[in-house]
Amino acid sequence: MSATTDRFRTPLYTVAEAARYLGVPESTFHTWARGRSRKPEGRSEVHGASLVTVIKGQPRGSASLPFVGLAEGLALTAIRKSGVTMRRIRPALEVLQKELGMDHVLASESLYTDGSEILYDYAEQVGDSDEAHAARELVVVRHGQHVFNDVMNHYLHGVEFASDGYAQVIPLPGFGLADVVADPRRGFGQPTFERGGAKVEDVIGLFLAGERLTDVSEEYGVPMSELEDALRVAAARHAA
């Protein structure tokens, strides 16, 4: 990893970029990053803390999320796609944080190895509540083991961890055939083709500049099928 790229402290992404890379609405990711305040009727205002790591004090509109924040966002995206709201899952996330006793739990290997068991136990302890039902929706029992449901596993499959137990490579969702990852050791964490190692932005830019797709594939070492998939995704996101 570059000596100047710290997974926890180097700001690499704006909120808009992180939302786009993970395929969630920008407003949703903004809430994850900044927290959310609400005032229940007849009660004092309640503020929900941010759920992803943000480097404070950055100029408005500039990058404020380090790589670990994007990795945490991937786990939250998986939870969201499972149909569980953040309001219902926040208490369970606090339990994970407490039980695992570490920061950045959503980007930790312990989430993948122990998280489902902790969530299941939490659901059993709190009984018949919204939070318990939310935790149960994330966990299934297979062969006597508590594991995350298929949606969670789909999003979290392929995450690679460094020796410190935290994510160092994450797969980016939304692609069909292309294996696109974020890796702070390559291209400052921008979306990169796993095969060939080229930044997606550079490859698409060369094609849009008039290069033939076959030539782009040969120059960057990216299979044609993956290039076509990446172009499809880029066009869909541009049209959205």
| 157 three-class SS | coil
- How confident is the model at residue 37, as a pLDDT? 56
66's tokens = 């380090």
Judge contact between 202 and 192, C-beta under 8 A: no
Q: What is the CATH number of domain 174-240?
A: 1.10.10
The domain ranges of the chain are: 174-240
64's tokens = 């404020």
Q: Is 0.85 topped by the overall pTM?
A: yes
DSSP element (H, E) containing 208: helix 200-208
- How confident is the model at residue 202, as a pLDDT? 94
Residue 199 pairs in a beta bridge with 192
Closest CA to 180 of 189, 171, 190, 188: 171
DSSP string for 86-133? HHHHHHHHHHHHHHHT-SSGGGBHHHHHHHHHHHHHHHHHH-SSHHHH
The position carrying tokens 């407490």 is 98
Judge contact between 192 and 170, C-beta under 8 A: no
Tens digits of residue pLDDT in 102-154: 889 999 999 989 999 999 998 888 888 888 888 889 999 888 889 999 999 99
Closest CA to 75 of 62, 93, 48: 93
- How confident is the model at residue 237, as a pLDDT? 83
Judge contact between 169 and 183, C-beta under 8 A: yes
DSSP element (H, E) containing 167: strand 167-171
| 82 three-class SS | coil
Tens digits of residue pLDDT in 160-201: 999 999 999 999 999 999 999 999 999 999 999 999 899 999
